Amino acid sequence: MVFLNIILENIMNLILDIGNTNSKFSVFESGRIKSFGVWDSSEVKEEFQNWNNNNQNCESIIVSDVIGINKSYFESVTRCSLVWVSAKIKLPYKINYKIPEELGADRIGLVAAAVFAYPKKNCLVIDIGTCITYDFVSKNSVYLGGSISPGFSMRYNSISTNTSSLPELKITIPKK
């Protein structure tokens, strides 16, 4: 239950999700979110070092990484305890997956969050980012699997790339 223990301690902790496009972070103090934000994943090392330099009272950092960041770099620039999310750490659920090590750290973290937020409930977790993932965890806290598909940008790009007469579409985000 490493996630819950780190978040609920009465100290400052960082949760960092390094994604293919964006890296999202939340800073917790005494079990509450103090701040959060987004960094461009291509600049995550610099952003992390700046954050670390300005937050010397941080105790622990949970890192979910899908791009294969250099772990030794992060370990060299912080004095905080680092927890790298993987199927090998203690989790609040059982992974019923053929090869658990192939499951992405982002998906492992999202399922852990679902188990904490909705205990003893069946949960379908949908994450929309560079890819769209669907993961299912049972009310008995057993991860039963999921799927991954191209995200919206990949889908839009493939329409013009893989057809002869359809135009390249622009993604627009409505204000409401």
What CATH number did the domain enclosing 158 receive?
Answer: 3.30.420.40
Of 150, 50, 109, 136, nearest in space to 159 by CA: 150
77 and 101, same structural domain? no
Domain extent, residue 170, equals 88-176
175 and 118, same structural domain? yes
Give catalytic residue positions: 106
Cβ neighbors of 144 (< 8 A, separation 6 or more) are 96, 136, 137, 138
Tokens 């979110």 locate to 33
Confidence at residue 5, expressed as pLDDT on a 0 to 100 scale? 52
109 and 65, same structural domain? no
Of 76, 70, 115, 85, nearest in space to 16 by CA: 85
65 and 113, same structural domain? no
Confidence at residue 94, expressed as pLDDT on a 0 to 100 scale? 96
Last residue in a domain, options 84, 104, 123? 84
pLDDT under 70 in the chain at which residues?
1-11
Confidence at residue 169, expressed as pLDDT on a 0 to 100 scale? 76
Last residue in a domain, options 26, 56, 84? 84
Residue 147 β-bridge partners: 134
99 and 31, same structural domain? no
Domain count for the chain, please give it: 2
CA distance 36 to 111: 20
CA distance 97 to 146: 9
DSSP 8-state assignment for residue 151: -
110 and 57, same structural domain? no
175 and 134, same structural domain? yes
172 and 153, same structural domain? yes
Stated pTM of the model: 0.82
Q: Tokens standing for 82?
A: 């680092």
Q: Tokens standing for 124?
A: 């379908």
Last residue in a domain, options 55, 84, 113? 84
